[in-house]
Structure 1
Amino acid sequence: MSQQVYLPSYSIGEDVYKRVPQICSNYGKTAIVIGGEISLSKVKDKLLIAMKGTDIKLLDFIWYGGNATRENIERLKNMKTVQMADMIFAVGGGKSMDTCKALADMLKKPVFTFPTIASNCAPVTALCILYGKDKVEFYDAQKPAIHCFIDTKIISNAPIKYLRAGIGDALSKQYEVCFNTRGRILNHTNNLGVQIAKDCSERLLQYGVKALDDAQKNIVSDEFIQTVLTIIVNTGLVSVLVNLNYNSSLAHSLYLASVKIPDCKGHMHGEIVSLGVLLLLLVDKQLIQAEKVYDFNQKLDLPTSLMDLGIKDVKQIIDLILQDKYLSFAPYNITKEMIKEAIDILETLKHKKTF
């Protein structure tokens, strides 16, 4: 049985848009730029300057619709300029990226990504998370974006909440993947992804605090670059290489459960996942790592208990967590008693202020 693996590529720096004509010209002469309203305003002038005097024409700059939904994808599919374009340039954060990746996959068009925030690995993954009413759909495109253009200056100027959430989301990759693949015999592709995953959380624990501090001062430091690359590229490579069944565990189970709780609506994906990391580590009795992450979350003002997310009904959240099908790939059966014990530990620590 044959296997195809499409790996993402990327450029990073403050002048990466100058590389767009060289990298994209082999894929067509026209592009449609799709993203969030603020994100489009951040890249528009830079892209227009980069395309000036080249063979690539930007047909239009279009708002993606505000959420990654089937409805917004269908609306974009029916636009004449989208149909005319040879390429799709996806701009912004996770939801606009996922909208564009799914759109490009359905239309069989090449897609290039231009992240304006570092909130997750969506710019380099094939997986698209689409939202419906109180549900989440995983749409797996055939391949990731052809190339990702990471403008560090634009990302350093973004609201700090996105980088904080990006760190929280990426923090889960090492722990979830290594947990779900424990004791398994893996093929080459999955094993390669696991090896990359083993470095994700450690790099964030090493560079994350300084990176966030520098970002608040709009400083593009080495720590900032290392952190952005870990959020977007390292975790993205793992998502591409590792089977979806091994990519998600208890940390993301908490997020999927929280989607159904109105009080959590104001919290970002990565914030919620970072608390899920603590639950996973405590359930798995990785107490040294749990203490590291707990201290790290405190320093970054990430959640350390359910009360930080406004979740009051513990029984409800546990029942919702256990509905996640990806928990079945854990190396052992995770019970409600295990999760309740982990939650109780975090609630106790919230009052003690120390691990």
Structure 2
Amino acid sequence: MTTAFASPSTYVQGKDLLKTASKYIKPFGDHGILLTDDIVWGLVGQRFYDYLTKGGLKIEHVQFGGESSPEEIDRIKEIAAKSDAQFVISLGGGKTNDTTKAVGDQLKIPIIITPTLASNDSPCTRLSVLYSEDGSFLKYLFYDKNPDLVLVDTSVIAGAPVKFLIDGIADALSTNVEAQSVRRARETTLLPLQTQQTEAGLALAERCEALLFHYADQAVAAAGDHTVTPALDHIVEANTLLSGVGAESSGLAAAHSFQNGLTALSGDVHKLSHGQKVAFGTLLNLVLEGASDERLVRFLTFEHRFGLPTTLKDLHLENASEDDLRKVAELTTQDGETIHNMGFKVTADDVLEGIKAVDAFSRSYFG
């Protein structure tokens, strides 16, 4: 058995971290580009730029176009190459991060990720999701290494609408559920190395889940008041570092395949975030593996408390036909999907029945 573990070279988290970020970046060089969209630039980007330049760095601000597309990657890569950038910094959300990773990888320069939200675990992973310029999914890009530096300013995270933190909690909640499925099946992980889990990767996934159940209520309350507390620190770390590294080094299973399967449909379901869709997928993962009532209820009530989808109605699919749900089930189980890491054969019929079972159990439990 060959195992592997991967993570960012350095992860730094703290309140008002942007003010002192230059000292963490200087080891990579004295000049680079800062990629951020117009909204983030207005909220925090200008201040971050000023902190970096006052800290002795030469920074070129590059406006992100909004889509992590091959065309956008090529455009930014050309700018970075012309300026002989020694590093590339992302300040923003998932698509900004993904574009920055691609640029850094292709130019072979250090990648620095500075997330403004704790809504997903993309800052720490060695992959990007690519889309066409019109927003259609294209493919995943896998890299030889994770980002060189991840800087998480918890005051910036706390300043964002609390719904984004809840999205991250929903995504992180799937990490250990899927990791345990992969462990039982002895399947390979998300790393592009065809390797199995290390105990370290599995431990991070388990710790991620523990922090969510211990501190999520406090953290959501604090974030709703735009306040940084120890509980918020724990949840930001769980959403960003533990979920990202834990999932990548421990593997995915049914929860994320269900999220992918939903792309078989159009409509209001796609107004939901990645984390919201994965939340229902986590319950589906539990049902498919035959979780006990006690275990299923633990996750169900946790999700319901934060307003996450636990029924078809919550997914805006209460009027979906049997054929529509079967399309989701068929796409969820297509070749190459991580649902096949469950350790037993999972068919489209199994998924269809599982979706109905989650919906029925949730409706029955909450009356």
1:331 aligns with 2:339: no
Structure 1 residues 76 and 260, CA gap change in structure 2 (3 angstroms): farther
1:321 aligns with 2:332: yes
Could you say which residue in structure 2 is the equivalent of 1:255? 259
Distance in 1 between residues matched to 2:346 and 2:82, nearest whole Å: 46
Between stretches 39-48 and 284-293, larger displacement belongs to: 39-48
Distance in 2 between residues matched to 1:55 and 1:176, nearest whole Å: 44
1:241 aligns with 2:263: no
Matches within 5 A, 1:74-153: 74-79=74-79, 83-132=83-132, 134-153=136-155
Is the 2:173–2:212 Cα contact (8 Å) retained in structure 1? Answer: yes
Distance in 2 between residues matched to 1:240 and 1:291, nearest whole Å: 27
Could you say which residue in structure 1 is the equivalent of 2:359? 347
Q: What SS class does the counterpart of residue 58 from structure 1 fall into?
A: strand
Between stretches 128-137 and 195-204, larger displacement belongs to: 128-137
1:206 aligns with 2:206: no
Structure 1 residues 179 and 26, CA gap change in structure 2 (3 angstroms): same
Q: What SS class does the counterpart of residue 264 from structure 2 fall into?
A: coil
Is the 1:34–1:40 Cα contact (8 Å) retained in structure 2? Answer: no
Distance in 1 between residues matched to 2:54 and 2:43, nearest whole Å: 21
1:220 to 217, 221, 228: 228
1:195 aligns with 2:180: no
Could you say which residue in structure 1 is the equivalent of 2:240? 232
The amino acid of 2:227's aligned partner reads: I
Is the 1:91–1:114 Cα contact (8 Å) retained in structure 2? Answer: yes
The amino acid of 1:35's aligned partner reads: T
- Offset of residue 241 of structure 1: 3.1
Q: What SS class does the counterpart of residue 90 from structure 1 fall into?
A: strand
After superposition, the C-alpha distances for 1:1-35 in whole angstroms (9 at most, x for unaligned) are 99895543222222312432222112111121112
The amino acid of 1:190's aligned partner reads: T
Instruction: Give me the TM-score of the superposition, normalised by structure 2.
Output: 0.87
After superposition, the C-alpha distances for 1:25-84 in whole angstroms (9 at most, x for unaligned) are 121111211123222223324323422443311122x23221222222122223367653
Could you say which residue in structure 2 is the equivalent of 1:293? 299
Q: Any gaps of 5 or more consecutive residues in structure 1? A: none
Distance in 2 between residues matched to 1:98 and 1:29, nearest whole Å: 23
State how many pairs are aligned: 350
Distance in 2 between residues matched to 1:24 and 1:4, nearest whole Å: 24
1:275 aligns with 2:288: no
- Offset of residue 138 of structure 1: 1.6
Distance in 2 between residues matched to 1:64 and 1:82, nearest whole Å: 17
- Offset of residue 127 of structure 1: 1.5
- Offset of residue 121 of structure 1: 1.3
Instruction: Give me the TM-score of the superposition, normalised by structure 1.
Output: 0.90
After superposition, the C-alpha distances for 1:162-181 in whole angstroms (9 at most, x for unaligned) are 11111111111101111012
Between stretches 328-337 and 263-272, larger displacement belongs to: 328-337
Is the 1:7–1:240 Cα contact (8 Å) retained in structure 2? Answer: no
Is the 2:6–2:245 Cα contact (8 Å) retained in structure 1? Answer: no
Q: What SS class does the counterpart of residue 198 from structure 2 fall into?
A: helix
Root-mean-square deviation (Å): 2.5
